[in-house]
Structure 1
Amino acid sequence: MGKQYETVIGLEVHVELATRTKIFCSCSTEFGKAPNTHTCPVCTGMPGALPVLNKQVVEYAMAIGLATNCEITKVCKFDRKNYFYPDNPQNYQISQLYLPIARNGYVEIETGGTKKKVRIHEMHMEEDAGKLIHDEWDDTSLVDYNRSGVPLVEIVSEPDMRSADEVIAYLEKLRMIIQYLGASDCKLQEGSMRADVNLSVREAGAEEFGTRTEMKNLNSFKAIARAIEGERERQIELLEEGKAVVQETRRWDDNKESSYAMRSKEDAQDYRYFPEPDLVPIVISGEWIEQIRARQPELQTEKMERYKKEFDIPEYDAKIITSSKHMADIFEAASAVCGKPKKVSNWLMVETLRLLKDRGMEPEEISFSPENLAKLVNLTESRAINSSVAKEVFEKIFAQDIDPEIYVEEHGLKTVNDEGALEEVIRKVIADNPKAAKDYHSGKEKALGALVGQTMKAMKGKADPGLVNRKLREMI
């Protein structure tokens, strides 16, 4: 029997804050603009340019700290982290080493039905670096300083996670909390949420931690899960061969599904930290903390409780809907318009989730308006359209956010409720299908289904199946 190994994982998560301007200057933080257009002397590190702290950054950091059960540091300050790298225009980064804004928190995660607290060691504010673009064609590297000076919080966990599942559960919980706060959109693909994974393995039951490596360049939950599995296997293989794991930073290549060493961490870099001379310490009063606490929105747990009481929807549905702030907002707005929360919940839980899965989309990417969903609920509930037409119309709403009332009118999809016309069609169907009518009389309930199908076909799907059923029973 081979040795059993345990994986030990801690994360450093960088989150870009949703401020309109950068942390120390008034340049825009908007993503995806032409290179070097959102820059000024401060964020490009020109000599003599002085930083001025953006108050909103501190408030977002405090809000995230409170929502993750951290203690807020009442006197905190910035430090200079000195290192030379082309995307770092000042040759130092303004960060927080000695007195970070928040410490000693936790978030609760659930995997496989068991709950667990993942502790947060600390959380600090800092500025982001620029971005190097490597041009393979010219064999050159270009630098874009638009991202330089975009505000970040770095959330450092304790090494409390033991599997890829726990890591993903922790990241999803953090992302959800931060999106609820409106502090960041946490889009991994745009780099507004990035995670570095510190991972080591040790023999099961051992007290000591093994040697850890840090993995960078992880821009999706799937990549993170694959990288954890890959690195765990690599380290176990080394130990089984009697080799040592080297403490180093590795870069994950998701296309090749393997990682390679970037730099050794054996002689930990000396960043020569010292207090940032151009910024005064931040003094956070008890009153200011209470103001932020009072402004905290309702988070998932409270929302779930309220949905179960107020809207009488099952716990499972409430949990799924509230796991995305965007979906919860659509649910509340549509329910307010049509007054039928259970029906709105059904459309979100069944058809919306199905279409999201089919198209590989996240709930945050839902683009239809709550008003159009509410109109569809009303059309279905008033029996103006039947359920199969409703599904067809919903696909159009999901894809193009069309107005269902106009669409149904223009495409002649309204249910025909003219009983006279329906009876005429049913008489013809019974006459054309004598065997099915006879089978039904001799007690074969299934035969009715065939007649309902024929009637719906003759009515081009625009009859109310319940009414068709009732009329057929009456008329056979």
Structure 2
Amino acid sequence: MSWEVIIGLETHAQLSTASKIFSGASTTYGAEPNTQSCAVDLALPGVLPVLNKAAVEKAIAFGLAIDAEVAPMSVFARKNYFYPDLPKGYQISQFELPVVIGGTLSFNVGEKDKAYKKTVQLTRAHLEEDAGKSTHELFDKESGIDLNRAGTPLLEIVTEPCIYSAKEAVAYAKALHSLVVWLGMCDGNMQEGSFRCDANVSVRPVGQKELGTRREIKNLNSFKFLEDAINYEINEQIRIIEDGGRIQQATVLFDPNSGVTRVMRTKEDAHDYRYFPDPDLAPLVISDAWRERVRATMPELPAALQARFVSEYALSEYDAEQVSASKAHAEYFETAVKAMTKPDAKMVANWMMSDLAATLNKEEIELSNSPVSALRLAQLIAKIQDSTLSNKLAKEVFAAVWVGEQQAQGDAQIDAIIEARGLKQVSDVGAIEAIIQEIMDKNTQIVEEYRAGKEKGFGFLVGQVMKASKGKANPAQVNELLLAKLKS
């Protein structure tokens, strides 16, 4: 039997405000346990919540960015359940009237020629407060409660069930992560829990109209865990059904060490939480003027910026998306291109997507901490443009700049590395012709075979010339001069 996978994602983005959503307590990460929870967070008798305006404005900006309806009026509700890290016995959230309604997010799935455009329809995004955190001391067999996180502002972003594979889910999560960081509404730190996903997964036979019974995988805080958990859950649900069993709606947790999910509890429905409007909070009213003031403060959005990169710099859609993977990437790209005497956007993009990306990945550092600045990359590419360096030699210089070899400033650092290592490309026609003649004299049989029509030997001869020049000969000149000699 063939199966169809249906996935919906719920993502919690922690809003980057200095204080909590309903109190003045700090949201700084890493403080000593229970030092950043106040009477309001604990719902002690006589206290009243006061809504954080900055949190609302970040929600408005998100709604505008995804072309959603920013509700002129939304309502806060109490979501009632018992858990040790929920001091009030309820969570303040939004239910029937959320602040953001609808919207879409488009992104590419896959790479280059195999990539396709996917648009995910969003159901809603609503403001709510986070719960505290339970900590478990394995060796002492004790549990503790840290309420520092209680009351931290969250925007929960919910999709329609319109994602059809783990690969699409990860691509969506990455695009959403990039957007919320781009907007400055969330720092995106997944290790600290600032951005975490819940995945609702179900399967059904191909052709069946009704959705299958879903299971929700909670608190996935890495893209790898998200993909692994969804793939495991898909296979597990199919196995259960094919073995004659039934899927029970449940909340499950993913164990990254074993790679399996386990049931935490049977899944509640909305009525189990006994939602009702919070009597301590007035409806949230967002005027047209307030919405437009927020719009005026927003940065150029990724989709618009990518379209501009395509038209202004003649990049492909794929390249434009890659060099604007984050705001930092986009700024690095434009800074490098604008610093060049002879701007070559494609060459900058190629270096960013290859050597720079690979080295950042290997060293596990962010672009903002790159030892090779945008200006330095522009200076390096200029050395290729003026034939001082070949692409191969430029890679060697790039690596030397990365480790801080030669501490000279500006162009002087690159020039000093080239001089110290003797890397200057040989472009003298006479010198290259002399090397070519030497190689031809040593490989007369291959030369004769080439002249007789066996052109495979050409690549071998080029390689020998480059080897003899220690990689310094200008490759384009080598090809041109060798071809001319072989035909003479």
Name the TM-score class by shorter chain.
Answer: 0.7 to 0.9
How far, CA to CA, are the matches of 2:116 and 2:475 in structure 1?
45
| Distance apart, 1:21 and its partner CA | 2.8
| Distance apart, 1:99 and its partner CA | 1.7
1:79 partner letter: A
Which of 236, 241, 244 in structure 1 is aligned with 2:243? Answer: 241
| Distance apart, 1:103 and its partner CA | 1.2
1:371 matches 2:369: no
Q: 1:94: which partner in 2?
A: 92
How far, CA to CA, are the matches of 1:209 and 1:434 in structure 2?
71
| Distance apart, 1:367 and its partner CA | 6.5
1:394 matches 2:392: no
How far, CA to CA, are the matches of 2:475 and 2:269 in structure 1?
75
Residues 62, 292 of structure 1: 8 Å contact kept: yes
Q: 1:453: which partner in 2?
A: 467
TM (norm. structure 2) is 0.83
Residues 78, 97 of structure 1: 8 Å contact kept: yes
| Distance apart, 1:263 and its partner CA | 1.0
| Distance apart, 1:361 and its partner CA | 6.9
1:271 matches 2:282: no
Q: 1:79: which partner in 2?
A: 77
Residues 19, 29 of structure 1: 8 Å contact kept: yes
1:158 matches 2:164: no
Q: 1:436: which partner in 2?
A: 442
Using the TM superposition, name which of 102-111 and 198-207 deviates more. 102-111
1:389 partner letter: L
User: What are the residue-to-residue correspondences of 1:162-201 with 2, within 5 Å?
Assistant: 162-201=164-203
Which of 298, 301, 315 in structure 2 is aligned with 1:299? Answer: 301
User: What are the residue-to-residue correspondences of 1:54-69 with 2, within 5 Å?
Assistant: 54-69=52-67
| Distance apart, 1:331 and its partner CA | 0.2
1:4 partner letter: S
Q: Name the CA shift for 1:343/1:239 in 2 (closer, same or farther; >3 Å).
A: closer
Residues 75, 282 of structure 1: 8 Å contact kept: yes
3-state SS of 2:240 partner: helix
How far, CA to CA, are the matches of 1:367 and 1:449 in structure 2?
33
Using the TM superposition, name which of 261-270 and 178-187 deviates more. 261-270
2:75 partner letter: K
How far, CA to CA, are the matches of 2:162 and 2:205 in structure 1?
16
TM (norm. structure 1) is 0.84
User: What are the residue-to-residue correspondences of 1:324-363 with 2, within 5 Å?
Assistant: 324-339=326-341, 340=343, 341-356=345-360, 358=362
3-state SS of 2:323 partner: helix
| Distance apart, 1:249 and its partner CA | 0.9
How far, CA to CA, are the matches of 1:217 and 1:292 in structure 2?
30
Q: 1:15: which partner in 2?
A: 13
How far, CA to CA, are the matches of 1:238 and 1:471 in structure 2?
68
| Distance apart, 1:109 and its partner CA | 4.6
User: Gaps (5+ residues) in structure 2?
Assistant: 452-456
Residues 408, 414 of structure 1: 8 Å contact kept: no
How far, CA to CA, are the matches of 1:267 and 1:119 in structure 2?
22
Residues 50, 278 of structure 1: 8 Å contact kept: yes
Which of 401, 410, 414 in structure 2 is aligned with 1:408? Answer: 414
How far, CA to CA, are the matches of 1:406 and 1:246 in structure 2?
67
Residues 440, 448 of structure 1: 8 Å contact kept: no
How far, CA to CA, are the matches of 1:168 and 1:92 in structure 2?
31
User: Gaps (5+ residues) in structure 1?
Assistant: none
| Distance apart, 1:88 and its partner CA | 2.1
Q: Percent identity of the aligned residues?
A: 39
| Distance apart, 1:97 and its partner CA | 1.5
2:321 partner letter: K
2:144 partner letter: L
2:324 partner letter: T
Residues 16, 193 of structure 1: 8 Å contact kept: yes
How far, CA to CA, are the matches of 1:109 and 1:467 in structure 2?
42
RMSD: 3.6
Residues 81, 93 of structure 1: 8 Å contact kept: yes
| Distance apart, 1:167 and its partner CA | 1.6
Residues 426, 472 of structure 2: 8 Å contact kept: no
Deviations 1:63-110 (A, max 9, x none): 111222321111112222233322223332221123210112232355
Using the TM superposition, name which of 39-48 and 21-30 deviates more. 39-48
2:265 partner letter: R
Q: 2:385: which partner in 1?
A: 381
How far, CA to CA, are the matches of 2:108 and 2:439 in structure 1?
57
How far, CA to CA, are the matches of 1:389 and 1:319 in structure 2?
28
Residues 76, 93 of structure 2: 8 Å contact kept: yes
| Distance apart, 1:5 and its partner CA | 2.4
Using the TM superposition, name which of 32-41 and 84-93 deviates more. 32-41
Q: Name the CA shift for 1:164/1:66 in 2 (closer, same or farther; >3 Å).
A: same
Using the TM superposition, name which of 374-383 and 243-252 deviates more. 374-383
Deviations 1:390-421 (A, max 9, x none): 2123235556698674543554146558999x
3-state SS of 2:9 partner: strand
Residues 132, 145 of structure 2: 8 Å contact kept: yes
Q: 2:454: which partner in 1?
A: none
How far, CA to CA, are the matches of 2:121 and 2:152 in structure 1?
27
Which of 19, 27, 31 in structure 2 is aligned with 1:29? Answer: 27
Q: How many residues align structurally? A: 467
